[in-house]
Amino acid sequence: MAMNEASAAIVVHHLRKDFPRRAQGPFWRRRGPTSPFPAVRDVTFEVRPGEIFGLLGPNGAGKSTTIRVIATLLLPTGGRAYVAGYDVVRHPASVRRRLGAVLTGDRSLYWKLTGRENLRYFAALYDVAPARTAGRVESLLGEFGLAEKADELVERYSTGMKQRLAIARSLLADPPVLVLDEPTVGLDPQSALGVRSLIRRIAAEGRTVLITTHYMEEADELCDRVGIIDGGRIVALDTPENLKRSLDRTTVVRLWTTGGDGRLREGLGRVPGVLRVSLREAAEPGRPSEATVTGEGLRRRVAELVAAALAAGAEVERVAIDEPTLEDVFLHLTGRGFDR
Amino acid sequence: MRALSAAMLRELLIFFRYPGWVVSVVVWPVLFPAAYIFLARALAGPDPRAQAAQALGTPDYVGYILIGTLLWMWVNTTLWTIGSALRKEQLGGTLESNWLAPQPRAALLFGAALAHAVVVLWMVAVATAAFTLVYGLKVRAPAESALLFLANVPWVYGLGLLFASLVVWAKEANGMVHAVRSVFLIFCGMSFPVAVMPGWMQAVGRALPLTHGIDALRMAALAGAGWREVAPELAWLLVWGAALSVCGFLAFAFTDRRMRELGTTGTY
Ligand SMILES: Nc1ncnc2c1ncn2[C@@H]1O[C@H](COP(=O)(O)OP(=O)(O)O)[C@@H](O)[C@H]1O
Ligand SMILES: [Mg+2]
């Protein structure tokens, strides 16, 4: 048996999930079985009661697959997962009774029903006692700033309101554990801010929250601990501070350059002390592209870095020496940037 | 139980948000049979009732057609609505939020089926009233007729449940619904006696439950037949009902599991 599945709110132990590869083309041309695709290869982590835990990783890292196994919507190929001590495969009903989940955001609601009707419907599904339903629904509507629009069809809600209603729905049965898959994706900055402060409030009520995100800043700012996931594996797991501190002796130098040729990366990489170079192309032609150089003792090597850039035919627009961010941690661990 | 009634209420609420559907449920059952009734009048010569008595075994050719079309339309709407219920929720994204709840998943689908049954009962009530007023329909054995109508419930909804699962895999309902409803339309004697078809088609028709559902109801409502006379038809309906319900349930259980292996509850 795995770790302390009884005391932790969520335990994921060597989780693996293979999907059969989808055959393409007309059905008469599809070939027989191909090798399965491992969306999650080996994921192990543990969420402590009352904490906000973040699974951070780029698109396709396996975040949603992991969270769907936890939410009993997917059967794992290998490994185990427990919610509040219950095995998600063997006791899915017990898990569902203790778990609130927002996986598809606004799509998880009936758009042809009003906000209030949605909540009342799901309250029945979550066995909220009929006598308590009205009170619970009203208090959630109020708490989530939806009271005014409660009798409008959800199809008329903004994306941010739909997302708040979806979160309210997941809290109907007052579950101790909440999982949210990319809760702020697709929201404007203002609504995203609102959703984040909601999540903080929910955790402050003593609930355990697991979120997935591909926003570094979100993980950094919101989460007590972060598991960085890439290619179906956890590559690092700690508090955001510790993760950044792991790069303590590392400096991050960013250079914004225009022009230049393909030798930029190579040239920067030859400067002593440099561990990694990653390039982000300019968003539009004419704008500078960004080179992030991580390494040890680079504060003393800035001149050499600039010289290397000039030698590659580039013009240097700006140079900055930064504290490492979670993105730098990811970069350092995987050698790749986050594609946004 | 609560989940079931909540799902039913949900479907009814959504149904009434689409005025077009509501109107079509009232109008269509009254208009659709007219096409066949007028054809019958055109072909029957000076005395349609006498001609009908000879050809159909009852002078009441209007009632004959109404019963056939009503049952066929019921099967038709079941295939469309229950058949695409799972797929619709999968596409809309609500399948996952429903299945996340601590409820037996079949209960949620049964709830939708119940809502549909409520709408159908209403449709039957409207149609019967309209037929009585407009076409002069007289039901001779009302209690038996009503019960015989209900004896179709297991096979019709079993078929709907089976369809719901098949549609999830076929990804779209149209092709399958058209195929199956055409078979029922042609082989089951909706608007003509099965006996006028070539032998092999008669054999197919006699095997299908709708044929017996229509026959039994015609015998009771038009000829005033009692239980003894309709017993074989009734037995056939119930056997089909048991078989299709079991198949439907197994298909649903298989689909539920397979979707959780493939991760297709939320994708399309
Ligand atoms: N149902 C599925 N069938 C086949 N492949 C899938 C399915 N769901 C996800 N994948 C694949 O698994 C990988 C991980 O997906 P996902 O867990 O959704 O990543 P993330 O949420 O981190 O973006 C991706 O390459 C994705 O294409
Ligand atoms: Mg995802």
Once rounded to an integer, what is the mean pLDDT over residues A229-239?
95
Residue B96 distance to chain A (closest CA, Å): 7
- Does B261 sit within 8 Å of A108, measured CB to CB? no
Which ipTM was obtained for this model?
0.86
Provide the shortest C-alpha distance from residue B93 to chain A (in Å): 5
Backbone angles phi, psi at B72, to 5 degrees: -65, -40
Alpha-helical regions (H) of chain A: 63-70, 92-98, 115-125, 130-143, 159-170, 189-204, 216-222, 240-245, 264-269, 302-311, 326-334
pLDDT of residue A182: 95
Ligand nearest to the CA of A181: 2
Closest CA to B137 of B58, B45, B226, B225: B58
What is the pLDDT, as a whole number, of residue A278?
Answer: 85
**Cα B228 to averaged position of ligand 1 atoms, centre (Å):** 60
| Antiparallel, parallel or unpaired: β A233-238 and A10-19 | unpaired
What percent of chain B clears pLDDT 70, i.e. is strictly above it?
99
d(CA B39, CA B32): 12
Using a 6 Å cutoff on CB, does residue B267 contact ligand 1? yes
CB contact burial A75-84 (16+ within 10 A = b; e otherwise) = bbbebbbbbb
Q: What is the pLDDT of residue B268?
A: 54
pLDDT tens-digit map of A101-153: 999 888 899 999 999 999 999 999 999 999 999 999 999 999 999 999 999 99
Give the CA distances from residue A217 to residues A137, A155, A193, A303, in Å, rounded to whole numbers and listed in that order.
Answer: 32, 30, 12, 30
What DSSP designation does B32 have?
A: H
Beta bridge partners of residue A316, listed in sequence order: A257
How far is it, in rounded angstroms, from Cα A94 to Cα A92? 5
pLDDT digits (tens, 9 = 90+) for A188-204: 999 999 999 999 999 99
This prediction has a pTM of: 0.84
Ligand 1 within 6 A of CB of A65: yes
Ligand 1 binding pocket includes A104 (Cβ within 6 Å):
no
Spatial separation of the C-alpha atoms in residues A263 and B201, rounded to whole Å:
78
Distances (CA, A) of B12 to A305, B9, B34, B220: 69, 5, 28, 32
- Long-range residue pairs from A186-194, CB within 8 A, at least 24 positions apart, any chain: A186/A105, A186/A159, A187/A159, A187/A160, A187/A163, A188/A159, A188/A160, A190/A160, A191/A158, A191/A159, A191/A160, A191/A163, A192/A218, A194/A145, A194/A160, A194/A164
- Report the SS3 class of residue A324: coil
Q: Do B99 and A73 touch (CB under 8 A)?
A: yes
Tokens of A137: 């629904």
* Calpha distance B179→B185 (Å, rounded): 10
Q: Distance (Å) from the C-alpha of residue B153 to the closest C-alpha of chain A?
A: 26
Q: Which atom of ligand 1 is nearest to the CA of A181?
A: 21
A98 within 8 A of A84, measured Cβ to Cβ:
yes
Segment of A11-25, A248-262, B166-180, B231-245 carrying the highest mean pLDDT: B231-245
Pick the residue whose CA is nearest to atom 27 on ligand 1. A60
